[in-house]
Amino acid sequence: MTKLILVLGDQLSKDMAALRAAEDGDVIVMAEVQDEASYVAHHPKKIAFIFAAMRKFADALREDGFKVAYTRLDDPENSHKIGGELLRRAEEFGADRIIATEPGEWRLINILTYLPIPVTQLPDDRFFASHAEFEDWAEDRKELRMEWFYREMRRKTGLLMEGDDPAGGEWNYDQQNRKPAKPDLFRKTPPEFEPDAITEEVLTLVEDRFGDHFGDLRPFRYATDRAGALKALDHFIAHALDEFGPYQDAMLIDDPLLFHSVLSPYLNAGLLSPREICEAAAGAYADGKVRLNSAEGFIRQILGWREFMRGIYFLQGPDYTSQNRLGHRRDLPALYWGGETRMACLSAAVGQTQKLAYAHHIQRLMVTGNFALLAGIDPAQVHEWYLAVYLDAYEWVEAPNVIGMSQFADGGLVGSKPYVSSGNYINKMSDYCGNCAYSVSRKTGEGACPFNLLYWDFMLRHRDLLEQNSRVSRIYANWDRMDKDRRSTVLAEAAAFLDRMEAGEIV
Ligand code: FAD
Ligand code: DLZ
Ligand code: SF4
């Protein structure tokens, strides 16, 4: 009897497990639905990217001889739910069961699990490590640290390995990285993709239906098919990877991308595979085209961090996103949704997010994430923001990065210490502070950088917990040595800043 084969908007690979299970007469189901487009207020670019890529992928499947039942958002029959579309198509085609590839979100896994028709959810084997492999690795470990998992993955895949040893003798070359960048740094701009007729039609639809969501839909220059994604990969390997390592933590006000790959949207949607990206980077090193610290640093992000984050998400279960170990309760301020701010770093990171649905790792971690953590924002709201605003955001990868790495809301499962800093770090790694209404060198008083005030406020609020952490505890000696009046001033000014922020004043 006929089976339905479900392909979700972030499963656009011909090598998906469910597609491999398709037999003659089976029907591929793809659906643009309101439920998926609005469980958070996704950036319009993200919705357009997914819908355009889905439409093109459906066409590619048809060309390969598959029968595809595709629901467009404006189809009058659309039930606007993945489950609803599956049931409707099952009736239409007389199908008695469904084959899916496991979705990247517990919410959808549950929906599929409880549909009133048999659904098989096959493992998503686009990743280097299966759930079972990660569980085995994690079992009986006191601490789950990415670095140890990453070494296992290097050994398993042979990427950047010379026999049993890591290429060059070290597993990690980060001491050669972490350089600040100068504004005149030369960088070849990445390829841009003019919307074709299919993308243009989607842009009009999204403009009409989701024009009120935060974020600029146009200009839209992302690739929306595999050919374009491959072009972006080739360009990155040829023109940016070599400088990726040294400048991966740098931030520039006029350069939102620097030497980052901007491949995560394609990778997470299935247009590229993690293996082909890592092999391309390792190949460029083997051919002498890129330095080892860049190839290793880049491969670690995908083979290490990306796989580790996925492992944590599935190990922790559906309640992970509601963790709030630090008890943070403040509302996310309007500046995250494009409201005015005097802080140049936040203005730059949020501004480029609004324009591009993209910010690179250090902007996400040390600007928007750092500020939310220091200011004690409710991690559930922070999570929702990150899930909404980035083109690459799906819960399996976004939640461990936000709840775990950035907001320390899981109490240190992902990160061994909270990623917080005063203005000093931002000043060292960027050119933001020179363009700011605040002064990074001022610790208190008129114009003092808010990060300087909030840093100590945060450290003091959580002293009981953080003093037990050997990676953080010595910071308190600096505080204790500080003059008593100065300490009171810092805390009073931090409280006043937070009061102004909560009152909706421009900060
Ligand atoms: P590059 O800097 O070029 O890195 C190469 C690749 O490595 C990326 O494409 C990505 O696939 C992978 N990578 C790097 N860091 C991580 C990481 N920490 N976790 C997982 N993969 C990583 N990444 C997402 O894909 N989706 C998200 O929703 C997401 N949310 C984040 C939220 C916060 C608070 C933080 C701190 C990080 C988040 N990241 C997320 C990780 C990282 O910021 C992005 O993967 C990266 O910025 C994507 O841009 P790029 O492709 O230019 O990356
Ligand atoms: C993110 C997203 C959006 C905006 N829209 C759709 C959609 O209409 N149809 C679909 O199949 N998938 C969509 N997606 C991706 C899903 O939300 C994604 O598969 C889950 O979040 C699991 O990662
Ligand atoms: Fe950000 Fe402070 Fe620098 Fe302004 S001075 S850009 S608020 S770190």
Is the same domain home to 287 and 407?
no
Q: Report the pLDDT averaged over residues 207-222.
A: 97
**Residue 225 located in a structural domain:** no
pLDDT tens readout for residues 288-309 = 999 999 999 999 999 999 999 9
Question: How does the average pLDDT of the chain come out, rounded?
Answer: 97
**Residue 387 located in a structural domain:** yes
The domain total for the chain is: 3
Give the Å distance between the CA of 5 and the centre of ligand 2: 16
**Residue 350 located in a structural domain:** yes
Q: Which of 251, 345, 424 to mutate to test the pocket of ligand 3 (most atoms within 8 A of CB)?
A: 345
Is the same domain home to 13 and 84?
yes
Percentage of the chain exceeding pLDDT 90 = 95
| 347 three-state secondary structure | helix
Q: Kindly indicate the confidence band of residue 450, based on its pLDDT and cuts at 50, 70 and 90.
A: very high
Residue 76 has pLDDT above 80, yes or no: yes
Residue 113 has a pLDDT of: 98
Is the same domain home to 485 and 449?
yes
What is d(CA 365, CA 369) in angstroms, rounded to the nearest whole number?
5
From the CA of 439, give the closest atom in ligand 3: 5
- CB of 202 within 8 A of CB of 48? yes
Range of the domain at 309: 131-187+240-316
Q: Which of 122, 143, 170 is the last residue of a domain?
A: 122
| 5 three-state secondary structure | strand
Is the same domain home to 23 and 161?
no
**Residue 193 located in a structural domain:** no
- CB of 310 within 8 A of CB of 52? no
Give the Å distance between the CA of 265 and the centre of ligand 1: 9
Query: Edge to edge, what strands does the sheet with 3-6 contain?
Result: 67-71, 27-31, 3-6, 97-101, 119-122
Is the same domain home to 431 and 285?
no
Q: Which residues of 332-351 are buried (b: 16+ CB within 10 A; e: fewer)?
A: bbebbbeeebebbbbbbbbb
Q: Which of 70, 88, 122 is the last residue of a domain?
A: 122
pLDDT tens readout for residues 131-169 = 999 999 999 899 999 999 999 999 999 999 999 999 999
Residue 502 has a pLDDT of: 98
What is d(CA 444, CA 425) in angstroms, rounded to the nearest whole number?
17
Q: Which of 290, 316, 342 is the last residue of a domain?
A: 316
Is the same domain home to 147 and 54?
no
Q: Give the phi and the psi of residue 398 in degrees, each rounded to 5.
A: -70, -45
Residue 187 has a pLDDT of: 79
Where would I find the H helices in 123-222?
Answer: 131-138, 146-157, 197-210
- CB of 163 within 8 A of CB of 235? no
Residue 397 has pLDDT above 90, yes or no: yes
Q: What's the CATH code of the domain at 302? A: 1.25.40.80
Residues with CB under 6 Å of ligand 1 are 260-264, 267-268, 298, 301-302, 305-306, 309, 360-361, 364-365, 369, 386, 390, 392-393, 397-398, 401-402, 405-406
Residue 186 has a pLDDT of: 77
Q: Report the pLDDT averaged over residues 44-62.
A: 98
Q: What's the CATH code of the domain at 7? A: 3.40.50.620
**Ligand having the closest approach to the CA of 373:** 1
What are the distances in angstroms from CA 40 to CA 36, 93, 123, 228, 384? Answer: 8, 32, 26, 27, 7
From the CA of 37, give the closest atom in ligand 2: 4
Q: Give the phi and the psi of residue 376 in degrees, each rounded to 5.
A: 70, 40
pLDDT tens readout for residues 260-275 = 999 999 999 999 999 9
What is d(CA 375, CA 505) in angstroms, rounded to the nearest whole number?
15
**Ligand having the closest approach to the CA of 398:** 1
Q: Kindly indicate the confidence band of residue 23, based on its pLDDT and cuts at 50, 70 and 90.
A: very high
Is the same domain home to 96 and 170?
no
Residue 214 has a pLDDT of: 98
**Residue 18 located in a structural domain:** yes
Residues with CB under 6 Å of ligand 2 are 8-10, 31-33, 36-37, 42, 47, 50, 103-105, 108, 394-395
Is the same domain home to 356 and 447?
yes
Residue 185 has pLDDT above 80, yes or no: no
Residue 43 neighbours by CB distance under 10 Å: 25
**Ligand having the closest approach to the CA of 347:** 3
Is the same domain home to 115 and 159?
no
Q: Kindly indicate the confidence band of residue 30, based on its pLDDT and cuts at 50, 70 and 90.
A: very high
Is the same domain home to 400 and 347?
yes
Percentage of the chain exceeding pLDDT 70 = 100
Residue 189 has a pLDDT of: 86
**Residue 218 located in a structural domain:** no
Give the Å distance between the CA of 73 and the centre of ligand 2: 12
**Ligand having the closest approach to the CA of 79:** 2
ipTM of the complex: 0.99
Q: Which of 4, 11, 50 to mutate to test the pocket of ligand 2 (most atoms within 8 A of CB)?
A: 50
**Residue 345 located in a structural domain:** yes
- Go through the chain and tell me how many residues it has: 507
Is the same domain home to 274 and 413?
no
**Residue 198 located in a structural domain:** no
Is the same domain home to 478 and 377?
yes
Give the Å distance between the CA of 128 and the centre of ligand 2: 22
From the CA of 407, give the closest atom in ligand 1: 34
pLDDT tens readout for residues 327-369 = 999 999 999 999 999 999 999 999 999 999 999 999 999 999 9
Q: What's the CATH code of the domain at 452? A: 1.10.579.10
Residue (of 95, 152, 96) closest to 129 by Cα position: 152
Residue 1 has a pLDDT of: 86
Residue 182 has a pLDDT of: 83
